[in-house]
Structure 1
C-alpha cells in the first residue's frame, strides 16, 4: 500500500494523488517532508527565443569541434553526429520548457482528486499551511509524540480531506444546477418538479455531511498545530520564569522558593489528545 501523498498547487487547481505529479507545461519544484511530497510551479526562466538560440549555438559549436577531432582520430563520425544532435536537442527542449509558465497536468487515474472551485482550493491550501505548522512543532515535542506515526496520521488526514473536498466540490456544482432547475416556471405538482425536489433534499443532506467531515478534518489539523504551539510557548515562558527566579535569588541573596512557571501537565495532555483526534 502506497503511504505517500503527492500534492500539487498551481494558479488554477489543487491536485491530490497517491502517485507522482507531472507538469503540463513548465517545470515543477518538488519538496519532500516525510510521506508528503509537494509540487509547485517554478517561475519561468525569462529567457527569450533569441537567448535560447544563442545558448544552443554556443553549445553546438564545441560539440562540433570535439566531433571533428574524434572523427579524425577514427571514431565513427555518424555516431558522434547523432550524440551531438541529441544533446543539443535536449538542451533546447529543456530551455523551452523552463521558459514557459508552469502548470500541473491533470492525473488520469481515478484515485487522484483535482480541486477546481475556489472554496475547496482555499480550504485545502489552509489545511496544508496548518500541516506545516504542525510539523514545525515536532522537534520540540520529542518524547511526547512519535514523529513517524504523527507524519503518517497527518498525511492520511490530508488525503482524506482531498477526497471529502472533491465530493463537496461535486455537490456544490450539483446544488447550483438543481437550484437553477427548481426556479423554472413549472407546476408544483409536475412529476419532473417533484423528482428535482427529491434530489435537492438528498443533495442537501449529503452536502451537510461532507461539509461537516471537511470541517472536522480541518479542525483536527488546526487543533494539533495550536496545541503544539501553545505548549512550546508556555514551556519557553516557564523557562524564562525559572531563570528570572534564580537570577533574582542571586541578586537579593535570598533562597529561591518554589520554581515559578505554569504547570505544563495539562498542556501535555492537550497535545496528546489533539494528535489522537488527528489519527482518528
Structure 2
C-alpha cells in the first residue's frame, strides 16, 4: 500500500505530467470503485487540472473547482500512458478501475492515467466531490506527521488519548495521524526500538524517542521518493525498508533474525533483539504486552 511518502511523490510526479492539462474524459469501468453520485464523470470534460495534492493517503486532483479523490487502498496504483487506447475500456473484472484521458494540445500530446488495482479483493475508491471534506476518510483524518504542526506535544496528546491501545495500531489509525500504514509503522517502531504491542500511553522519554523515529523515518522516505516517477516508487520504497517484509533476514542493526506476527489479513515484522528484549512474539493473542 502506498503511504504518505509515496503518495506525496506520486502527487508531485502527476502534477509535473498533467498540471494545466485539459481533461477529455474520465472512464470508470469498475463501477463499484466510484463512491459518489452528486457529480458525474462526464462533467469533467474540458476541465483543467489545476493542482495535484494529497490528504494523508488520499490523492487529490483538483479539476476546475471540483476534486477527483483517489484512495489506492492496498493494491492500487496509477500509471501514466503516452498513448491512449482508441476505444474506452469495457466494464469487467480486470485490473483497470478508471482512466483519466488528457486531451491533445498544441505542445502536449494526448495521454492518460490508468488507475489500476491488482488482485480479486477490490478496495480502491474514487470520489468526485466539490470539497475534499465530503470524503468520509478525509473528514475524519488526523494530523499529517510530515506537517509542521506535528510536534512532540501534539503527539503526546494523541498517545495519551489512545491509552492502553497497542502502539502498532495507533500509528496506523488514520483518524489519529494521517498517512502511516503497515510498512512504515513497522519501520518506525524498529527505529524507536519499541515493541509493536507496547501501550500507547507511555512516558515522556519513550514518546520523544518514538516521535523522533516517526518523523525521521517518514522524512527520509519522502526524500528518497521525491522526484521519482510513479514507475520507480514501489521499488524505492521496498529498497528502503529495514524490517517490513523481511522476515527471516538479518536485522541491519544488530544481526538478529527478523520475525513476524501474522494476523487474519496482514502481518507485522520486528527485530526481537532491538525491540522486545529478545522475546519472540508468538501471536497477538498470546504474546504479552511488552513495556
Give the TM-score band, short-chain normalised.
under 0.3
Larger radius of gyration: 1
Higher-helix-fraction structure:
1
Higher-strand-fraction structure:
2
